[in-house]
Structure formats: C-alpha cells, structure tokens
C-alpha cells in the first residue's frame, strides 16, 4: 500500500465512521418508532417460547436503522467522492445490523453485562440499582439515561467502528 492509498483509506475510514455514527444516532432515536422501542426486547414469559412480537419489532427497527445508514452513507459517498466497494458496504452494514439486532433484544446485552461483571452498572438509573436516585420523599427521582442505555450505545459504537474499518478496507 502506498502512502497515498494509505492516506485515502484513513480518510475514507474517518468519513465512513462519522457518517455511520451520525446515521446511527438519527436512526436509533428519530427513525425508530415508539412501538419498536417498547417491544423489541419483548420475550414471552413461558419458557421455551420466543416472542414473535419482540423479534419483529427489533427486525423492523434494524431494517429502518440500516436503511438510514445506507442512505446517509450514499449521500456522503456522492458528496465526498468516496470510493467504496459494494462488498465492503454489504459486509460492514451486515455486521452492524446483526450486532444491533442482537444487542437490542435486551436480554442478550444484559447477559453480556453480567458475564463481564457490569451488572451493577447495567442497572444504574433504575430501581434495581442499590444506589438508585430518589427524591426527598423516597420516590424514584428523574435522571438522564441508565447504565443499560450507556452500555447499549457503547456496544453499537464499537460495531460502527468495526463496520467503518471493513467498509474502508474492502
């Protein structure tokens, strides 16, 4: 790889990562519907049964999110004259979509938090946390975000990073 092609790859990675991060934020917060957000982690209470409603809500969310990323990536490609391969975009967005679906089923990310010793942080900002915020009257206090949300978003950003690497390198 020449210095010029190396610089081009680095610049492409930076542009793709910034685009994917912006698209992720828009898709995860503005494009996702309230129904998708409320239902995507739903699981049936009966052991051995999976929730069709939860799986479909999560799938619809990931489809709209991935389309948002593809549209913004196409816009950036045209405006910035990026040289991206169809294989790189397909593999990168595919990895991102699969990882997003896995995490957004919620129980899988809760499992990962437990497996990595992050259960207490995962419950931060909820009544399940030992030091959850309360008002002077002892009622739940308002707060910004939860540990589960922070872990969810950092998980997604990690996979955006990997997707951008793949898109830029392939």
Pairwise CA distance, residues 96 & 56, whole Å = 18
E-state strands within the chain: none
DSSP state of 141: P
pLDDT of residue 83: 95
Note whether 3 and 11 are within 8 A (CB).
Answer: no
Backbone angles phi, psi at 142, to 5 degrees: -65, 150
pLDDT of residue 138: 75
pLDDT of residue 169: 95
Q: Which residues of the chain have pLDDT under 50?
A: none
Tally of CA atoms within 13 A in the half-sphere of 117 that contains its CB: 0
Backbone angles phi, psi at 140, to 5 degrees: -55, 135
Pairwise CA distance, residues 90 & 102, whole Å = 18
Pairwise CA distance, residues 30 & 133, whole Å = 28
pLDDT of residue 144: 62
Pairwise CA distance, residues 98 & 156, whole Å = 11
Q: Where are the domains of the chain?
A: 3-104+147-169
């Amino acid at each position: 790889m020449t210095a010029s092609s190396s610089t081009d790859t680095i610049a492409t990675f930076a542009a793709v990562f910034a685009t994917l991060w912006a698209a992720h934020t828009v898709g995860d917060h503005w494009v996702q519907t309230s129904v998708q957000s409320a239902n995507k982690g739903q699981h049936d209470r009966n052991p051995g049964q999976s929730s069709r409603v939860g799986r479909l809500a999560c799938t619809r969310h990931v489809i709209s999110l991935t389309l948002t990323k593809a549209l913004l990536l196409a816009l950036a490609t045209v405006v910035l004259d990026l040289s991206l391969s169809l294989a790189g975009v397909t593999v990168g967005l595919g990895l991102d979509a699969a990882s997003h679906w896995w995490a957004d089923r919620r129980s899988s990310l809760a499992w990962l938090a437990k497996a990595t010793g992050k259960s207490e942080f995962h419950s931060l900002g909820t009544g399940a946390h030992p030091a959850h915020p309360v008002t002077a009257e002892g009622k739940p206090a308002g707060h910004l975000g939860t540990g589960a949300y922070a872990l969810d978003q950092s998980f997604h950003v990690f996979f955006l990073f990997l997707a951008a690497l793949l898109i830029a390198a392939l």
